[in-house]
Structure 1
Amino acid sequence: MSAAAAAPSVPTPSIAELADGLKRAGHVFLQGAAMQPLLQAERALDDWPAFVAAWDGMPLDTYMADGGRYRRRLYAVYQADAGGIERAAHQPHFQGLEYNPLNGNVARWFEPIADAVGSGATMHAVLGFCHRLFGSLAPAVNRWHVEVHQFRIEAAAGEAGKPTPEGVHRDGVDYVLVLLVRRHNIASGTTTIHTPAGDDLGSFTLTQPFDATLVDDHRVYHGVTPVEPIDPQQPAFRDVLVVTFRAA
């Protein structure tokens, strides 16, 4: 799918409306037909086909404590402030066990997101959108530590792929964006939202390119159900971009 071939038109909320939604509920689900114009307002998505193709051939995540070989991953870090958004030196991803009981307390060195992707129009449209939205929610923050993850979750006959193998969780940041890039030949992958006490706040499934979830990580927990192949003889995968913002 090209950036120009969006889903049928739906109302596109303003940044202020999205901020109000996050303040009220702690999470917002955006259909791709609403999300795409928000990104295009930041920058033309001229490199979208190359952006999508960047999920092909990614290396396996070798840090999976459950022994799973269903996740592929690339990673980058940025800094965002009033002067703009710049990529930072490559560094490990670290989460404490309180946020990731499966793979926490390990400095995980993932291969870097390719320079052409990390500096491209689509990536900077996504980062610019997040900076405007999350910055409006926390105007006192002068500088953000931004982490970006390319994830491919693969499913095969007899082995479901787990988008959130650590279970329902927080990420240990301030705000999160999950953007669907592509899904192929999979069933399920339903996002669930919960209160810190475990109460169910709702669920939805990212099915179309640009479908997105926005999360206030202090207020809600989130998880995604395992994905399974529809046709077990064919490749089956779910590609997402995850962006987290934390006050630096």
Structure 2
Amino acid sequence: MSSFRNALLAAVVMAVGAAGAAQAALTVSGSVGGAPTGVTLDNLDWLSLGTGGGVSPQSGITVNFTPNAQAVQGSASGLYAAPFLSGGNGTGFGNDNGVNNPPAGNQPNGADTTTYITSGSTGNTAGAAVEILLPGLQQYFGLLWGSVDDYNTLSFYDGATLVGSITGSDVVLAPNGDQGVNGTLYVNITSTVGFDRVVATSSQFAFEFDNIAFNPTVPVPEPASLGLLGLGLLGLGAALRRRRG
């Protein structure tokens, strides 16, 4: 069975902006699991199909599109493909068409049948991008990242100042745009520097995502994660003792 479905893929990226920009350490983890508890969730189902964007009644975010970025459903060959949910990573993102605030219930496993976002392609339309304006400075951002490609880029800003950016290669060791169950991950990103704007771009068709989450503080790891961290620290301590012996 694929490692996507069995293990957490994690990488730490030192993301540095242009001259004069803030520097942040972005911690990136992609897994079958979904968003952590205690964060704000938005399933994007309130968006009207097309390039209209708008303000979310669920979370207060603002979504702006530069064509050919847009809100879509289903798949269109050569343009965009629906993310694929698995392992319960739709937990908390109820398939409710944006009626509930916050979303109620869980989005089921399988191909995403709800509204999601595609970035379009900067190679086909200069400046194609999705801009998400967040309510205040955040240090955590999560999203259901579909068919991960190395040419997908997610950039984080504090106003106009670039805090840092990641690509699909920071999420998956060898991203290949897999449109099936193994190609979509729920990606959790934490930052040492606050950001209030996230921009998704792609040099080719396309960067598809759904089910975003955010929080002004770095979420506390789940108990299982804390246990793994403790084991790691014990191992490091043992190694240091051996070196001193």
- Say whether the fold is shared (TM-score over 0.5): no
> Greater share of strand residues, 1 or 2?
2
TM-score tier after normalising by the smaller chain length: 0.3 to 0.5
> Greater share of helix residues, 1 or 2?
1
The normalised TM-score by structure 2 is 0.40
The normalised TM-score by structure 1 is 0.39
